[in-house]
Amino acid sequence: MDRSLVPLGHTPPHALDLQQLRMELSALWREEGRGVLRACHATLVVIVSPGEDLDDLLDDLVLTHPSRVLRIERDPKLGSREVVAWGSGCCMKPSSGMLVCSETLHFRMGQDADDRLPSIVRSLAVGGVPLAVISRSASPLHLHWVNELGEDVNMVVGRSSALDIAEALELWTESGKRSRPPRVEDMTWDEIRPWRTAIQSCFDRPRELERLAALSQVTLEIGPRLEQSAPAWLLAGWLGSRLGWHRPVRKAKGSVEVERKSGCTLIEVRPALAADTVTFAFEDGGESIRFTSKDLHTESPSAPLSRTLHRHAFNAVAVSARNMARKLAEGT
């Protein structure tokens, strides 16, 4: 199947009237959707922050995760409680057979219209499939209207790489302790998968694996700001949870020393000056091992989010990594 979409058309934007919106969406499918198959694996409520462009990501996402998307964006030009809505559709273009289509409902909202969202979501969520709330730029834990939806929401997805470290720690804490819906997930765990894959591939070799016993320093230069260092700490947390690090002790800002089975390892997190890099140094005096973002396997825009949405239960490795990342980051 080609990774491309065919636009299906859209309804006219107007002040929110849920009954009118449903009728217009049904008419769109009748008029434009002949010979297509509507697919819906989930209802995805996507929060779009000011200046955030999610078109490419969402277009790519529905190729692998056809869904009803409720796209919510603030508009300072609207009245404080005003909501403008419209619908659109798009179809996957297969090499043969019936087009497979999904739909997006767009909402532009005034600054004080949040209390209208629970009724909007409940009215438009597709029954019998999961409901997920996704916030890529702001902490989803601060979306108070989500709490009103309660267990109607199956999953809340945040992205610690976009958060200051205090908010990232809060996200990791919630992701580990919630035993009832909605489950909290951090998409950054899936964003750092290429790093984890590269490191695992290197240490699959017996000679390199033996050197981990003498790992003296790990330097992670990821992202432009130390205040938004969650990806680096999460990657370090994954390493530490696999290698049995314990008793973290702060040495300086962005620097913590941990005990390992045969000694100590210094973890240093720094802003990246150019490409993101991770460097391993060893007590044996041998050559360091260096990984750079330029060498990593590239993925489609939506691949990390798609993996997060397809995960239907707690990932024990991810939980261990986030718990370790909290201990390391809190130590600094």
Residue 244 Cα distances to 18, 27, 73, 264, angstroms: 54, 59, 43, 11
pLDDT for the residue 101: 81
Amino acid residing at 201:
S
Residue range 152-181: mean pLDDT, rounded? 92
Q: Give percent of the chain with pLDDT exceeding 70.
A: 94
Residue 239 near residue 327 (C-beta atoms within 8 A): no
Residues 82-121: tens digit of each pLDDT: 999 999 988 877 665 667 788 999 999 999 999 999 999 9
- Between 38 and 125, the higher pLDDT residue: 125
pLDDT for the residue 296: 94
154: helix, strand or coil: coil
**Residue 201 burial by Cβ neighbours in a 10 Å radius (0-12, 13-18, 19+):** exposed
pLDDT exceeds 90 at position 162:
yes
Residues 282-332: tens digit of each pLDDT: 998 789 999 999 999 999 999 999 999 988 788 899 999 999 999 999 865
Sheet of strand 277-282, all strands in order from the earlier edge strand to the far edge: 246-252, 255-260, 263-270, 215-221, 277-282, 289-292
- Between 323 and 30, the higher pLDDT residue: 323
pTM listed for this prediction: 0.92
pLDDT exceeds 80 at position 68:
yes
pLDDT for the residue 1: 44
Residues 34-63: tens digit of each pLDDT: 656 677 889 999 999 988 889 889 888 888
User: What's the pLDDT band for 140 if we cut at 50, 70, 90?
Assistant: very high
* The two three-digit tokens of residue 39, written as one number: 């697919």
Residue range 262-267: mean pLDDT, rounded? 93
Q: Spell out the residues 6+ positions from residue 64 whose beta carbon is closer than 8 angstroms to its own.
A: 302, 306
Residue range 122-146: mean pLDDT, rounded? 94
pLDDT for the residue 178: 75
Residue range 155-166: mean pLDDT, rounded? 96
How many alpha carbons fall within 13 Å on the CB side of residue 145?
15
Q: Spell out the residues 6+ positions from residue 57 whose beta carbon is closer than 8 angstroms to its own.
A: 301, 302, 305
Q: How many residues make up the chain in this entry?
A: 332
Q: Spell out the residues 6+ positions from residue 274 whose beta carbon is closer than 8 angstroms to its own.
A: none
pLDDT exceeds 60 at position 262:
yes
Residue 55 near residue 80 (C-beta atoms within 8 A): no
- Between 12 and 1, the higher pLDDT residue: 12
296: helix, strand or coil: coil
